Amino acid sequence: MKGRGHAALLAGTGMAALMLGGQVKAQQVEQLQPLIITVAPLQSTQEELVEGSTVLTGDRLERYRGLTIGETLDRTPGVANSSFGAGAGRPVIRGQGGNRVRVLQNGLDTFDASVTSPDHAVVAPMGSATQVEVLRGPASLLYGSSAVAGVVNVKDGRIPDSVPKDFLDGTARMDFSTGSSNLAGFGSVDMAAGKNVVLHLEGFTTDANDYRINGFSSDEAREEGIKGRVENSFVDTRGGAIGASYLGERGYAGMAISGYSSLYGIPGGHSHAEEHEDDHEEEEDHDHEHEHGEESIRIDMQQTRYDLKFGLYDPLPFLDEASARFGYADYRHIELEGDEIGTIFENQSWEGRIELTHKPLAGFKGVFGLQSSRRDAIATGEEAFIPGTLTDNNALFLVERFETGPWLFTLGGRVEHQTVEAGSLGQERSFTGKSASAGATYRLNPTYSVGLSLSRTERAPNAEELFSDGAHLATQSYEVGNSGLGKEAAWHAELSFRKQRGDVTGAVNLFATRYHDYIFRDFTGNERDGLQEVRYGQEDATFRGAEIEATWVFLRSTGLTLSLDGAVDYVWAENEATGQALPLIPPLGYTAGINAYTRHVDYRLELEGAASQSRTGANEDSTGGYAFLNAGLSFRPIADSDSFTLFVQGRNLTDAEGRNHVSLLKDVAPFRGRELRVGGQVKF
């Protein structure tokens, strides 16, 4: 999408506004087609979904863009960040993360080890992202019944889907952040090679030092006199891709090869050598212990990935489209303890899917297909806490939509078979899960709609939950799996109310999920090898919560538009057997902002924060609330055009301290302190 109109889409909860010359013209807002969410059933718009959704693109994506996908989405409703330092951060949706949130890259798995542990980064580089989509709740059965919390998709254009209008399209972006002396750059080019062939080339880099904070990061840092930064929080990432597409009248075909490399530190980590020295004798000299026993943990990660995409239009009389996608990746990361190799994680993974979109039949329009994947994972080294495992997954899915008058109905189903084999243990577990969903949206008028969805999903335990057994120093825990775990079943209900047009737009989403045999990590309070013991178990659990968003355009005049926006989200989760709160549940979060749009300059002032979280799980500490003041300015030398943009962003301008309750490192790695980000982007 090019041009100022598309870049300024405010995509939140079905709300949309088109900024042209600083004006939001009501008649254009009414005619504007909402953004398509490509991973939603039948590529739905936000207005057609009952469940909450968010789309970041254009200016809004640039405002929120961070080093990781978790950091990028941390200020969006219902989403938190499992931040494990600056280099690793996975989305936590409505209090749930790990395997319950599927993170996709262009509709296929990211093929990394991020579900294994929160210190493992997601291989979805934010530097090359052109759109980030979030579906909260089980809105899509197309991508896996395990994704009961939601689906996140990162689009990056590596396989071109359109022919450049002027033979050559490109983007170049560079920015610098003061808080970590982070210099980041990105460049991409799409070039027409004949009438129907498009070539794509891109590259990106990020080089960030330890990030700045106000004060001491932890009690240990205070004792050692390390003030004003989080030690060992550096990030050095680089990569690139080359792709090509054939785009014809009857179909399309494309491929891409990409490479990714990242070296980042884990704050608060220490080596195994220190632990065993402490197990046998007390060190007489604390300084000697720190110098010779405690060493920083770093992760050195690489991935090479191959993607293919095919499609035919009207391949058969009853089909609108038949499409297929396939991805394969060779992934490896090394956990370095000082200069020594501690543990090596390797994955060789692939995923393929076929989707068949049928033509309207008795008023129903839908898509059905099959999905198959394999993950061959192995960990080697003294602290390899999980054995080598082979996970196979095969599924059939169907989603149908029926529209009549003001009503829109959706139905979906998925049958999924998963086998997890741990050859070294001589164990194999197989599961067959069946999931179904139904939803109805009633359009009260072109402006207002109300919707209700119900679903029942079954999720099989993954390899880490089943077979973990060992020390994992990066997370300071001793992980103990449970090979006897069964499937967990979830009943989910969601009620939504939306206003999509006019000066005031917004949405309210209320949700509740009840789990039977919910799989969770239990902090037992025991220690093994000097590390906190974490065991996987099952109990019934309940999640409830709400998300509220609103935007008010309160002034329109020639050359100037002013608006206010805000969002609040809250989730409550309880272990039904004990009546105790579940651990790592985010507190109430909020944002509030005021915006000014002119032909050349856009301004934003924002308050972002969270309440304290004292409702904690067993052996879990509470966290205090925080409030950050952010500001941003975007300057377009060419009026009403985003072909050349300069931006300045101030984050946490008051230099306040805040701790992320969802993070396992909250005691040693607070949020960033005051930071200024400056940069520019050119599109041609």
The CATH classification number of 4-683 equals: 2.40.170.20
pLDDT at 15 over 70: no
* pLDDT for the residue numbered 49: 79
- 179-183: average pLDDT: 96
Lowest mean pLDDT across 21-35, 99-113, 263-277, 531-545: 21-35
* pLDDT for the residue numbered 342: 86
pLDDT at 11 over 50: no
pLDDT at 25 over 60: no
Do 50 and 452 form a contact (C-beta atoms < 8 A)?
yes
pLDDT at 282 over 70: no
Lowest mean pLDDT across 34-48, 286-300, 532-546: 286-300
* pLDDT for the residue numbered 473: 76
* pLDDT for the residue numbered 140: 65
Give percent of the chain above pLDDT 90: 76
Q: What is the value of pTM for the model shown? A: 0.90
pLDDT at 604 over 50: yes
The structure tokens listed for 563 are 């608006």
Which residues, 6+ apart, have CB-to-CB distance to 487 below 8 Å?
431, 433, 458, 459, 460, 461, 517
Taking only the tens place, the pLDDT of each residue in 421-472 is: 999 999 999 999 999 999 999 999 999 999 999 999 999 999 999 999 998 8
* pLDDT for the residue numbered 241: 98
Rounded to whole angstroms, how far apart are CA atoms 242 and 232? 33
More confident residue, 477 or 280: 477
What is the bridge-based pairing of β-strands 531-557 and 477-480?
Answer: parallel
- 178-194: average pLDDT: 96
According to DSSP H, which parts of 462-608 are helical? 463-467
Query: Closest by alpha carbon to 254, among 162, 356, 376?
Result: 162
- 13-23: average pLDDT: 34
Which one-letter amino acid corresponds to residue 476?
Answer: Q
274 pLDDT band, cuts 50/70/90, is very low
294 pLDDT band, cuts 50/70/90, is low
Q: Give Cα 281 distance to the centre of its chain.
A: 44
Residue for token digits 């075909």? 253
Which residues, 6+ apart, have CB-to-CB distance to 124 below 8 Å?
69, 103, 105, 110, 154
Residue 132: how many CB atoms within 10 A of its CB? 25
* pLDDT for the residue numbered 490: 94
User: Rounded mean pLDDT of the chain?
Assistant: 89
Three state DSSP letters for 109-165: ECCCCCCCCCCCCCCCCCCCCCEEEEEECCCCCCCCCCCCCEEEEEECCCCCCCCCC
* pLDDT for the residue numbered 270: 52
Do 527 and 275 form a contact (C-beta atoms < 8 A)?
no
- 207-214: average pLDDT: 97
* pLDDT for the residue numbered 339: 86
The structure tokens listed for 454 are 């119900």
In the DSSP assignment, the letter for residue 96 is: B
Sign, Cα dihedral of 113, 119, 125, 130 = positive
Q: How far is CA 132 from CA 35, 126, 290, 302, 656, in A?
A: 12, 9, 42, 23, 28
* pLDDT for the residue numbered 338: 87
More confident residue, 535 or 29: 535
pLDDT at 166 over 90: no
Query: Closest by alpha carbon to 137, among 116, 127, 152, 125?
Result: 152
Residue 425: how many CB atoms within 10 A of its CB? 14
* pLDDT for the residue numbered 273: 39
Q: Give Cα 53 distance to the centre of its chain.
A: 12
Taking only the tens place, the pLDDT of each residue in 240-265 is: 999 999 999 999 999 999 999 999 99
pLDDT at 34 over 90: no
Domain ranges (residues) in the chain:
4-683
Q: What are phi and psi of 8, to 5 degrees?
A: -100, 15
Taking only the tens place, the pLDDT of each residue in 213-243 is: 999 999 999 999 999 999 999 999 999 999 9
46 pLDDT band, cuts 50/70/90, is confident
Q: What is Dmax (Cα atoms) for the chain?
A: 82
Taking only the tens place, the pLDDT of each residue in 359-418 is: 999 999 999 999 999 999 999 987 788 999 999 999 999 999 999 999 999 999 999 999
